[in-house]
Chain A
Amino acid sequence: MDSVALHPIEASTLAPQVDLLFYALLAFSLGLGIFLTVLVLGYAIKYRRGSKADRSGERSRNTVLEVSWTTATALMALGIFLWGAELFLQRDHPPPDSLHISGIGKQWMWIFEHQNGRREVDELHVPVGQPVVVSLSSEDVIHSMFVPAFRMKMDAVPGRQTQLWFQATRAGTYDLFCAEYCGTQHSEMRGHVVVMQPQDFAKWLASGPTVESLVQQGQALFRGLGCSGCHGPSATVHAPKLEGVYGHPVGLATSQTVIADDGYIRDSILQPKKQVVGGFDPIMPSYQGLITEDDLGKLVAYIKSLANSGGTP
């Protein structure tokens, strides 16, 4: 028992904003709660049987009073709602210069992969002062990545990709928890986020065991899994070319248009018949069950890297 938790460390740009809301709510709740407690106890004592208090006058209903406290409550509620929602909406808008990292939850560990291919387990190294987007997925059940010091949490859900972002404001080592119950060793699925000065981080990132970058590994998989047989430059099968696809609109056979984002690429590998590109036959087999979350992330990274090669289709 070395210390007592009283107030969690604030280590992200979001943390002080969330805490301001917390303490405003706390002040409001304590104010109202104590007011009501004093009122209840006050009435109970003042009007106890046999007391000398004045009891004249009627007062079993009062419409003006009812309407005023209903309105007051509604306005307070609306105010708190707007405050909480406004902060929450930042969630969907990570700054454009963010560092992208992929995170995978599996019973009972966290695996993180940096763009250059450096992997780590139950530890996540990030630089201070730069926004970081973690794209989350899961290999088995639902997990939830929770960093109390960042006031940030997001579920990792099998079969879909979610993301969270944060910008760390001070160097240090912070708790990383799995917050969604995930079976036997749920409470052991803990780790740390290590926030470093940018130059230290760069050194750390480069110092790891030399591995190929995610893109290079993805390219190898692209060949290994036979993707290039149809989608490659010399393929004879009638399949869409992938150069310049990522981030651009794609016309579907249903004459709808979608933007080819991470989710779309992912879905197209796992459930190719869901959204078929216009002018092509639905002949691609599903890779569901044939490819791990880890490899899927690499393939997506590779297809992303093709975004600026070749012309816009």
Chain B
Amino acid sequence: MTIAADLPERGSYFAPGWRLRDWLLTTDHKRIAWLYMSALLTFFFIGGAAATLIRIELFSPSGDFMTDDTYNRMFTLHGVVMVWFFLIPSIPATLGNFLLPLMLGAKDLAFPRLNLASWYVFMAGALITLWAMLVGGLDTGWTFYTPLSTMFTTDNTSIAAIGVFIIGFSTIMTGINFIVTTHKLRAPGQTWFRLPIFVWTLYATSLVMVLATPVLAATLLLIVADRVFGIGIFDPAQGGDPLLFQHLFWFYSHPAVYIMILPGMGVVSEILPCFSRRPLFGYKFVAYSSMGIALLGFMVWGHHMFVSGQSTYAGVIFSFLSFCIAVPSAIKVFNWTLTMRKGSVTFETSMIYSLGFLGLFVFGGLAGLFLAALAEDVHLTDTYFVIAHFHYIMVGGMVTAFLAGVHFWWPKMTGRMYSETWGRIAAVTSFLGFNLTFFPQFILGFNGMPRRYHTYPDEFQVWNVLSSAGAVVLALGYLMPLFYLGYSLFKGPRAPDNPWDATGLEWQTSSPPPKDNFRTPPVVTGPPYQYELPEIDRPADQR
């Protein structure tokens, strides 16, 4: 192999070898991170292909590209793959897996074998669901609403649901592993308030994973039981209640939104201080707000159901709690912004992605205020406004943060540098493409275009064409890194141990790290983010 394996450094984690079994039977968290990375990228591009077909269909108001059934299967495929095969595991299973032990000065996660098992369970569940969707077709939407999913669709629903059920166990395994690792394996001197924010957010995410996922598992089993045994728990004709499903589903799926976004917040909390050469502003407030978001995230699920037949007063309470969760999110944004103040800002690729994250997260979050406001939500819910809102958070926020993190830690993970020029071009391209794709969807939603529509009235066409055109630019922005990062993997210049002059423990070991991470166990003596201004920017009296 010519990849990083041939590095002269003895004992990088690539050294044990490149045979298939060196990867498939490894318990090294760094290698497992790559197993996840390759699987998740594959799924991301499958989900992206489905999105491409959707955008082609919506180019014109009539359904002339595919049939209605095919279209329904496409958006179901897109949703299921992106949510469960990419967004939920994305940052925790790849960057989190690689970095958590390094940031704690540990040799590995607390349960290395459980970590490998989680990957196999994930793959098993993902392949079962993917098979069900590609071979038979699944047209319930990723939300599996009853009684459509229990009484009115094909038999693949049960198989797909069982696949997602299995994936849930992988999520729980990762969550438990991260929680125990954070509690037990911190370096000497590394108190809770000396932890990087990325670790805080992974910890908060893990709590949500462990507490919310069992509810999803129970809900999916009830769907299967309803379909196979006809127990009728969601069937009104047998005294069941279709709304019960929505309560159970969103009790998992709203916290799941925070599983998706919290680690992204952690990533930019590492990158902004590094390229501003300043400590993170309001560290404790950012740490606490992560826990606040995780906690409040459990109490807002009913805001998906304002027009579902849920009682009016339940709606009022869920609306109130949803506005409460805006507060910790806003605290983070203000603190990130002020981190740059009086800093020495440079614009490396990962910094540009982080700034893009900040902008898109702010506008996505503000759009959330519209949807939390009850009377406004009555008009906007189930329209493209909702689609635009959560894509701003999930794609503009989470995917952008994921790319920021991949670029930031790439030298550590591979021991190679990549082209900053191409990196910057890709970051700016995806930012522009994203806005062009999703901003028109806010306007569509306000004008009343419902989501999951295969055909639509003519007056919506202009915005749909714009959105489809934007998707081409966005796809370009997402494809570019495949090429220059792929090139870097084989031909990139060797990376120094700490190319960004960053402060985290992970930068104190070699790039790529040895199998056991540190040659001498690190000791922590101070808070994180002890950045200093470079000579050139220091005030005269401090030079």
Contact = CB atoms under 8 A, between A and B. Distances in A.
B374 A88 contact: yes
A35 B143 CA distance: 36
B147 A25 contact: no
A249 to B, nearest CB: 21
Contacts of A32: 362, 366
B534 A49 contact: yes
A22 B236 contact: no
Interface in A174-192: 175, 177-188, 190
B114 interface: no
Nearest to B333: A36
Contacts, number: 291
Interface in A59-91: 59-62, 65-66, 69-70, 73-74, 77-78, 80-81, 83-89, 91
Chain B's interface: helix, strand, loop or mixed, by majority? helix
Interface stretch (A145-153, A252-260, A294-302): A145-153
Given A55-B537, A157-B308, A87 B374 contact: yes
User: Which one of A62, A107, A142 has the highest number of Cβ atoms from chain B below 10 Å of its Cβ?
Assistant: A142
B355 A1 contact: no
A258 to B, nearest CB: 16
Interface stretch (A3-11, A204-212, A303-311): A3-11
A101 interface: no
Contacts of A160: 236, 243, 309
Given A3-B459, A144-B307, A85 B374 contact: yes
B372 A81 contact: yes
Contact of B454 (A21, A154, A158, A187): A187
Contacts of B312: 88-89, 91-92
A5 B240 CA distance: 41
B236 A5 contact: no
Contacts of B334: 69
Interface in A18-35: 18, 21-22, 25, 28-29, 32-33
A244 interface: no
Nearest to B336: A40
A121 interface: no
B152 A141 contact: yes
B73 to A, nearest CB: 10
Contacts of A84: 319, 372-377
B484 to A, nearest CB: 24
A84 B461 CA distance: 30
Interface residues of B, number: 104
A7 B447 contact: yes
B536 interface: yes
B382 A153 contact: yes
Contacts of B237: 159, 288-289
Contact of B382 (A4, A40, A144): A144
Given A17-B375, A25-B376, A179-B382, 7 more contacts: A28-B369, A37-B359, A43-B343, A48-B345, A85-B319, A91-B378, A175-B448
Top 7 nearest A-B pairs (CB, nearest first) are: A159-B236, A148-B448, A84-B373, A87-B375, A88-B374, A29-B366, A5-B447
21 contacts: A4-B459, A6-B447, A22-B379, A25-B376, A29-B369, A44-B340, A55-B343, A56-B542, A57-B342, A80-B369, A81-B319, A88-B378, A140-B152, A142-B148, A146-B448, A148-B448, A152-B378, A159-B241, A175-B457, A181-B452, A183-B153
Interface of A: 1-8, 14, 17-18, 21-22, 25, 28-29, 32-33, 36-37, 39-40, 43-44, 47-51, 53-57, 59-62, 65-66, 69-70, 73-74, 77-78, 80-81, 83-89, 91-92, 107, 140-142, 144, 146, 148-149, 151-155, 157-160, 162, 175, 177-188, 190, 271, 288-289
